[in-house]
Chains A and B, each alone.
Chain A
Amino acid sequence: MTSAYREILIIIIAAIIVLIICFLIATVARRILNARKYIILDEYREFYRKKISEALQSGRTAELAEDLRSRAQSLTWRAIEEVLFEQLALAAHETTIRRLFQQLGYRDHYEGKLKSKRTIVKAAAADKLGKMRSESSTASLVKILNTEKEPEILTVTVRALCRIGTPEALQGILARLPELYKKSLVSQKTVDASLINFQADAIPLITAYGEQIADPRIKASLLEVLSHLPATATSLTFAESNLRSTDAEVRARAIRVFGRRTVEGVSRPELLLPLLQDPVWFVRLQAARAIESLKWEKAVDDLGSLLLDPNWQVRNAAARALAHIGNASLDVFLNILQDRDRYAKESICEEAERTYFIQWLIANLASGDAGIREKSRGILKIMHALDFSTPLREYMKNGEKDEIKREITLLMAENVSPAGGPDPRAIADSSGTQGDARTA
């Protein structure tokens, strides 16, 4: 072996040994430093938690600001910051805490950090300003939004502005939104999830901006936000104006705004009916869900037509909506269940079980209203023929009312085919594999 090879190997081994020693020292040193740091931090937190809490209770916040002054980034400074964030989350002394953040220099410190060139430092500073709901930092954050190109910083800044929640913050975001979306600098999900931090007072601003903007992605985001805020006349008007949008996502989200109301609160629920026939499946889905939320009985026939929809999610949503509407939908259920489409019938039966509508139907067997009783009986009979009879058997085992048990016994004896007529398979199987899962 040549000495050159030997030397190379020895150098490599030596380098590895040095690296091992470095890792060992780093591991041990990190643990020692962290252990010391967190012990002190825990003590400080405990101390300042008590002190700040007492001062807030007694209203002696002017002296408190003097007492809490400390060097930026020191352990005391960090402990006080954490305690103030804890107090801010309690919301009892929000204004005082926000003022303390300002007086103690936290706001200025983090605003200064916004000028850093390091992504993590900048993003962390924006996040802190957002968490302390520093309204006076809105301009600095909006400036970041307008000048920054790093997606990570932009994402955090959008979230921070949404936490601050001022009209200026919203205006700043909305003004920059087209470019953020165009250049894919922030994900739509992030914007949607953050914008819902704005409260109902943001609705006029959102709708006013939405009326000016043509970009369907932005409109969809705005409608998404409105769908999570209390529905007002303004938001409903804006949603109404977008129900006929050429963009399916916009139509679907406009429908969701309707779902925030009861049917009495919506002036024109009939606007939803044509959307039940929309060519795009998720628009039909949202329409069915909105009607379910509205519990709008007049829509039962239109919902009934969705029970035969080519998309299973739409069928399920329609079945769920009908089940939710209750007795008013019995006729529709009965009509569809007497149809020949087994697929649709199974979807309905499944939803009737999943939503526990079947329990309602069983209870109806003792109803004083003969019409309701017969319709419920008819539905249960067909469900039984389709093997959706486990709840019936459960009632026979554990149910309380003898009258209902008698009805169940009778209807289980009168087997009908899944298509409506007598079903030889059901008769043959009547003591066998009921309740087994069907495979289609």
Chain B
Amino acid sequence: MKALLISFALGFNYFVGIYYGVVSVLYTVLLSIALVVILRHIHRVKYEPFREYSASPETPSVSILIPAYNEEKVVVRTIRSALAVNYPLFEVIVINDGSSDRTLEAVISAFNLKKIDLVYRNILRTIPVRGFYSNPEIANLVVIDKERSGKADSLNCGLTVSRSPYFCSFDADSILERDSLIKLMTPIMESNIPVVACGGVVKILNGVTLNDILISEIKLPRRALSLFQIVEYARTFLFGRMGWNALNSLLILSGTFSLFNKTAVISVGGYGKGNTTEDMEIIVRLHEHYLRKRKPYRIRFISDPICWTEVPESMKMLGRQRRRWHLGLLQTMFQYRSMIFNPRYGRMGLLVMPYYLLFETLGPLVELVGYFAVVCSYLLGLLSTDFLLLFLTLAIFYGAFLSLSGVFLAELTYRRYPKWSHLMKLLWYAVLENFCYRQINSFWRTQAIFQFLRGKSAWEHVADKGVDMSGKVSHYEP
């Protein structure tokens, strides 16, 4: 029995070593690609024509869809931020998803809305709509009131009412940069190949000072948990997504703010309702559809910060968020399992989907079991002290390297944290992240794997997510 255990532990140690090696190589490749792309982008941005497009009649119109559930305290600010974007022709559609607080009343009162009668052609089979509101003086604002049915269904509802060829999803607890919409539209207008979706960098709103609807001072939040998330977001957006973007292999664009071609999304049936991360599912569905039909397409990501959003500031809420995200990843992988290792889907089927399955989906489980196995092996005498120390040192240093590279890439973009103290703090947290935050994250994500195996698919709500959130019951997340 002991011999079997020893053989298993040895075999598993080799597996963990190889697994870790492959992940590290892939991450390093993604980081290198992202570094080159971002360095080129900061030069290119000087001659990008988004300012011209922002006043051009040729720029296609866009509908900004804002699903809101119990966002009474922030929704008015968010709508005003959306109405203030620098874009020639757009409409803002707010979807009140059966809020139990005074979200609808707050919007009606702030914008002096009146009930109007609109025809609702239910092409995406959404839940019934209760009413529409508008104000003739703010002709590009429509508010839809409907029964509670979740974010995906709310977006489908907004999509049905939308009158523009493009739409973007926008979270009701976020703030837009003035040029965000035109920056997302620019790659679409400049591309010879149809761009069906485009996203950008989402930054963390916690800690920043707002002057009405504009960011007046960029500051770091006080809470350690938010600081860890800043480092994490920088890493995820700036090297993860930039790297995959260069290979036209993005599997996710943040639901907080992303731009889509409406016809493309409708042609795949709109947002899927059974998935807890509708933003990832819609991107995978678009890939699947276009690759299956062999139609040319692009899904783009730009390294400019476009939007600021709030993040959870308590362990409980962060845990809920991360479990939900991972559950969504698992659901998506399961739903599109036929794409994995399927040569029909090209790079997507042979590289990206297997990568997400093996390293993103199962990674947390392997990581936690790996820690356990290495420690057990040491206790069983299978590993020498120096190997154990070297292994742990390597893991920590490589993790720190990735986090620090995220901070470095964030330094290359504009709208960075301005003070030296900010930079030092972020560098420190990039190192610190590897000692407990990463392991706790892996634990939450492993919990999601077991939830998935038990058949759980419900959405865990996140309350009191960030700033100005006191008293909130629940709302959507990025």
Q: Which of B49, B116, B118, B408 contacts A391 (CB 8 A)?
A: B116
Q: Are A356 and B136 in contact (CB under 8 A)?
A: yes
Where the two chains meet, the residues of A that have a C-beta atom closer than 8 Å to any C-beta of B are 1, 5-6, 9-10, 12-13, 16-17, 19-20, 23-24, 26-28, 30-31, 120, 123-124, 126-127, 151-152, 155-156, 159, 184-187, 189-190, 192-194, 196, 224, 228, 312, 346-347, 349-350, 353-354, 356, 387-391, 394, 435-440
Name, among A10, A23, A196, A349, the residue most crowded by chain B CB atoms within 10 Å (CB to CB): A23
| Bound CA–CA A349/B128 (angstroms) | 20
In this complex, what residue of B is CB-closest to A352?
B117
| Bound CA–CA A3/B456 (angstroms) | 48
Q: Are B192 and A184 in contact (CB under 8 A)?
A: yes
| Bound CA–CA A388/B86 (angstroms) | 34
Q: Which residues of A contact B292 (CB under 8 A)?
A: none
In this complex, what residue of A is CB-closest to B189?
A189
Q: Are B189 and A190 in contact (CB under 8 A)?
A: yes
Minimum CB–CB distance for B53 against chain A, Å: 6
Residues facing A in B109-142 (CB within 8 A) are 114-122, 128-132, 136
B: number of interface residues (CB 8 Å): 52
| Bound CA–CA A356/B401 (angstroms) | 60
Q: Which residues of A contact B59 (CB under 8 A)?
A: 193
Q: Which residues of B contact A224 (CB under 8 A)?
A: 58
| Bound CA–CA A404/B219 (angstroms) | 58
| Bound CA–CA A186/B252 (angstroms) | 28
Q: Are B408 and A27 in contact (CB under 8 A)?
A: yes
Q: Are A228 and B130 in contact (CB under 8 A)?
A: no
- Known contacts: A156-B47, A346-B119, A388-B117. The answer to whether A23 contacts B394 by CB under 8 A is no
Q: Are A9 and B423 in contact (CB under 8 A)?
A: no
Q: Which of B129, B191, B397, B407 contacts A17 (CB 8 A)?
A: B397
| Bound CA–CA A388/B190 (angstroms) | 42
List 9 A-B pairs, minimum CB-CB distance, nearest first: A127-B47, A193-B58, A437-B129, A388-B117, A346-B119, A1-B387, A9-B390, A189-B189, A184-B192
Instruction: Produce 1/0 per residue, B86-114, CB < 8 A to A.
Output: 00000000000000000000000000001
Q: Which of A6, A159, A437 contacts B386 (CB 8 A)?
A: A6
- Known contacts: A1-B386, A27-B407, A156-B47. The answer to whether A196 contacts B401 by CB under 8 A is no
Interface stretch (choices B38-46, B148-156, B301-309, B437-445): B38-46
Q: Are A10 and B390 in contact (CB under 8 A)?
A: yes
- Known contacts: A6-B390, A439-B128. The answer to whether A123 contacts B427 by CB under 8 A is no
Flag whether B56 is at the interface (Cβ < 8 A): yes
Name, among B47, B192, B411, the residue most crowded by chain A CB atoms within 10 Å (CB to CB): B47
Residues facing A in B392-422 (CB within 8 A) are 393-394, 397-398, 400-401, 404-405, 407-408, 411-412, 420
Q: Which residues of A contact B132 (CB under 8 A)?
A: 437
| Bound CA–CA A186/B407 (angstroms) | 35
Minimum CB–CB distance for A106 against chain B, Å: 15
Q: Are B115 and A439 in contact (CB under 8 A)?
A: no
In this complex, what residue of B is CB-closest to A189?
B189
- Known contacts: A350-B119, A354-B118, A439-B120. The answer to whether A193 contacts B56 by CB under 8 A is yes
Residues facing A in B351-387 (CB within 8 A) are 383-384, 386-387
- Known contacts: A24-B427, A30-B411, A124-B46. The answer to whether A13 contacts B390 by CB under 8 A is yes
Q: Are B121 and A440 in contact (CB under 8 A)?
A: yes
Q: Are B57 and A187 in contact (CB under 8 A)?
A: no
Minimum CB–CB distance for B411 against chain A, Å: 5
5 interchain pairs, CB-CB under 8 A = A20-B401, A187-B191, A193-B52, A312-B121, A388-B117
Q: Are B43 and A124 in contact (CB under 8 A)?
A: yes
Q: Which residues of B contact A19 (CB under 8 A)?
A: 401
Q: Are A16 and B397 in contact (CB under 8 A)?
A: yes
Flag whether B391 is at the interface (Cβ < 8 A): yes
Q: Are A23 and B390 in contact (CB under 8 A)?
A: no
Q: Which residues of B contact A346 (CB under 8 A)?
A: 119
Q: Are B129 and A192 in contact (CB under 8 A)?
A: no
Q: Which residues of B contact A228 (CB under 8 A)?
A: 57-58
Q: Are B423 and A20 in contact (CB under 8 A)?
A: no
Q: Are B56 and A437 in contact (CB under 8 A)?
A: no
Q: Which of A185, A196, A354 contacts B56 (CB 8 A)?
A: A196
Q: Are B394 and A439 in contact (CB under 8 A)?
A: no
Q: Are A23 and B408 in contact (CB under 8 A)?
A: yes
Q: Are B47 and A124 in contact (CB under 8 A)?
A: yes
| Bound CA–CA A192/B49 (angstroms) | 13
Q: Which residues of B contact A9 (CB under 8 A)?
A: 387, 390-391, 394
